[in-house]
């Protein structure tokens, strides 16, 4: 069986491929598809966005899809960046941040600026994963990874906010641990393992 992993984020794709390698499915990514479509992520929740992506890609490419919406929720910032995680640097909350090298770096810079002087640095990563077959059948799961925001970025593994996220029980950031260990404890690892259990029962 072939399933399209509906993401263009290379970090996410790498993690999905590794996590899904344990079941017998062939994965394709959006880069494998000749015709491109844009799906606007305008939902108010991770679930709304993930369902929208899964349904639109499944009906356009006529193939089962796994889509994910993920992000970082910071307690002291009213759970922002949340669904705005990918473009936090550019939204109307706490001032905009200029891109100097890349978006991830601008997002991190803004988050650290907004947390300056705050004692509460608690945060969690959320991953909402949706499987949608083009035959009107869907499943979804969610995974969380709790931790806190570091004072400065450390490490060069992973992607996104990994260099400033210290998982609970660790003194390293998510960008300082191996990809295998990240998959074991991450929001995405937890959500995908739950999804695989459900998929095994129906596929
Ligand atoms: P999405 O592609 O709309 O789901 O955007 C997710 C954004 O949240 C990414 O661009 C990252 O900034 C952030 N994010 C999601 N998962 C992770 C992760 O595992 N590590 C670090 N950042 C993440």
pLDDT of residue 135: 80
- Enter the tokens of residue 93: 């909350």
Helix, strand, coil percentages (3-state) for the chain, rounded to 5, are: 40, 25, 35
Atom 22 of ligand 1 has which residue's CA nearest to it? 160
Map out the domains of the chain as residue ranges.
Answer: 2-202
pLDDT in tens, 95-116: 999 999 999 999 999 999 999 9
* Side-by-side strand order, sheet with 65-74: 26-29, 2-5, 65-74, 122-133, 137-149, 165-167
Distance 192 CA to ligand 1 centre (A): 15
pLDDT of residue 200: 84
pLDDT of residue 23: 80
Task: Give catalytic status of residue 136 as yes or no.
Answer: no
pTM: 0.95
Name the fold adopted by 2-202: Maf protein (3.90.950)
Give the residues of the chain that fall short of pLDDT 70: none
Catalytic residue among 31, 69, 92, 136: 69
Distance 69 CA to ligand 1 centre (A): 8
Which atom of ligand 1 is the closest one to the Cα of 182? 19
pLDDT of residue 58: 96
Distance 42 CA to ligand 1 centre (A): 16
């Amino acid at each position: 069986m072939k399933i399209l992993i509906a993401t263009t984020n290379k970090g996410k794709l790498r993690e999905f491929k590794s996590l899904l390698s344990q079941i017998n499915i062939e994965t394709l990514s959006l880069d494998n598809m000749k015709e491109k479509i844009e799906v606007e992520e305008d939902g108010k929740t991770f679930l709304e966005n993930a369902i929208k992506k899964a349904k639109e890609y499944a009906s356009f490419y006529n193939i089962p899809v796994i889509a994910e919406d993920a992000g970082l929720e910071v307690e002291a910032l009213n759970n922002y960046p949340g669904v705005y995680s990918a473009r936090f640097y550019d939204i109307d909350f706490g001032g905009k941040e200029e891109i100097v090298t890349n978006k991830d770096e601008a997002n991190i810079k803004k988050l650290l600026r907004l947390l300056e002087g705050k004692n509460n640095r608690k945060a969690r990563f959320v991953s909402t994963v949706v499987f949608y077959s083009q035959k009107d059948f869907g499943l979804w799961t969610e995974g969380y990874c709790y931790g806190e925001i570091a004072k400065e970025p450390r490490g060069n593994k992973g992607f996104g906010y990994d260099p400033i996220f210290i998982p609970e029980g660790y003194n390293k950031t998510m960008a300082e641990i191996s990809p295998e260990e990240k998959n074991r404890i991450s929001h995405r690892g937890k959500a995908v393992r739950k999804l695989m259990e459900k998929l095994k029962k129906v596929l």
